[in-house]
Chain A
């Protein structure tokens, strides 16, 4: 067997698997989206019908809020952990990256333990404070799984940041605030955009967390689920899946072109 044949043979199983279980199903999904009563106009319905449009807007808003919050928290913590060595730093780092592989359902449950009817906040505060099942709960759940992802990306970039640049700025008389604005933030920018895109995309597509928490509010993944299982509106479920898939795929493409790697995973 020649070298070339051997290399081709090595790629064959992958090729067959991804054809059978990725290319063909995705093709079927796309065709199914046009097989409903509305035909291909189903894609127009997403922006025409208030139910879908409102859901889309809410999903984007919650995801956006999550992204901003995760960026602020993780950049602050990440810079602190990169620049300081202290007792317990390893433990702090472990705690902050622990939820990386938690399934979304578990995170939803953890938020219920914080803000549900039997939750910590409800027990500690007077009156009836339950936020787990609202947009706030959803936001906290998304934040929970976004913090580790953003943190790892930002820390990797911060470690590569040359401290001499900061020192150079200081020797030229820059204040700490100016150093942050002129040296640190620009240096971290690619990884901030990248990890922001990852956080946003993951939040947009998060199903497990929404499945446990979103009993009163609708986000896109929940609508896809209910359209498919309860309303049997397969065309709309497929169309929404495709729109969602394209959005998250483009975002992660941007992220990867900027940072080279992605820490993805289901939320």
Chain B
């Protein structure tokens, strides 16, 4: 009896938490699709607001997508060899470097943005270009990429596999290309999806680094929350959800898969 009572209480808390997280999402989707949210759903459904969002913010959406792709490219170029280097050369130096590049996970984005602004803010060409925002995104997502790959590499006997390839005549570069990269693939995939998802949703750094001519999707969201009517803000949020939720699910699937391999 007591046990089932406890169970009911647990279930109630679980469902309440679900409601707390899900109801506002439903509200936002509804608000983005109703003619007049204040009058309620009885005023009718419409895609008018979504189209209006597209007219107003298509540029922001494309900029975010472009930034995410560029960010993925940079984190791969930097992160893949780095994860390999860290895995092959363990020791206090590598630990320290890994710890250091993980700082952006711990330090609030606002603080990082402030630091970047003060050092590079005066370099006008750089400050005003999209690459400045890109630097912030790479800074923030790079540790996710490195750690995701590193976890997979650390779970296999990389040293012996490489010795095997070397004994068959493979040079360091051939070993990296033929053995390391293919076997790190689950980690690379999980890392890549994480990087894209986080880059598209990044606000804290971007808000400080952006210029009026370079608004990313989340910056546009903040802008619409502050200055647009609720329906447009909601419709824009809806567009964001449509973009981010599939990515998020793919990311969780890939991360779970990579994790299974590392265990």
Chain A residues at the B interface, C-beta cutoff of 8 Å: 1-3, 6-11, 13-15, 17-18, 21-26, 28-29, 32, 73-74, 76-77, 79-81, 84, 92, 94-106, 108-114, 118, 120, 140, 143-144, 147-148, 176, 201, 204-208, 211-212, 221, 224-225, 228, 234, 237-238, 241-242, 244-245, 248-249, 251-253, 262, 264-266
Contacts and interface: CB of A to CB of B under 8 A. Distances in A.
A87 to B, nearest CB: 13
A266 B109 contact: yes
Given A101-B248, A264-B105, A17 B225 contact: no
Given A28-B119, A147-B21, A262-B105, 11 more contacts: A8-B89, A10-B82, A14-B85, A14-B146, A25-B116, A26-B115, A109-B225, A118-B230, A205-B109, A245-B108, A266-B205
14 contacts: A14-B101, A21-B116, A23-B100, A25-B112, A73-B16, A76-B13, A77-B10, A98-B21, A101-B198, A104-B203, A105-B221, A108-B225, A109-B237, A205-B107
Contact of A207 (B106, B109, B198): B109
B63 interface: no
Contact of B86 (A9, A11, A108): A11
A47 B137 CA distance: 33
Given A14-B146, A104-B204, A241-B115, A110 B24 contact: yes
A228 B207 CA distance: 13
A105 B203 contact: yes
A206 B13 CA distance: 25
Contacts of A84: 7
Contacts of A207: 108-110, 203-204, 207
A264 B119 CA distance: 26
Given A14-B146, A28-B115, A245-B107, A94 B85 contact: no
Contacts of B240: 106
A163 to B, nearest CB: 15
A100 B20 contact: no
A143 B112 CA distance: 24
B124 interface: no
B197 A211 contact: no
SS class, residues of chain A in contact with chain B: helix
Contacts of B230: 118
Contact of A120 (B2, B23, B198): B23
Contact of B31 (A22, A29, A113): A113
Contacts, number: 250
Interface residues of B, number: 88
B249 interface: yes
B111 A241 contact: yes
A208 B77 CA distance: 29
A20 B166 CA distance: 35
Contact of A10 (B13, B84, B248): B84
Contacts of B118: 25, 28-29, 32, 234, 238
B22 interface: yes
A103 B14 contact: no
A95 B103 contact: no
A96 B21 contact: yes
Given A96-B18, A114-B23, A208 B10 contact: no
Contact of B218 (A7, A25, A105, A148): A105
Contacts of B142: 14, 17
B59 interface: no
A207 B88 CA distance: 38
B61 interface: no
A24 B112 CA distance: 11
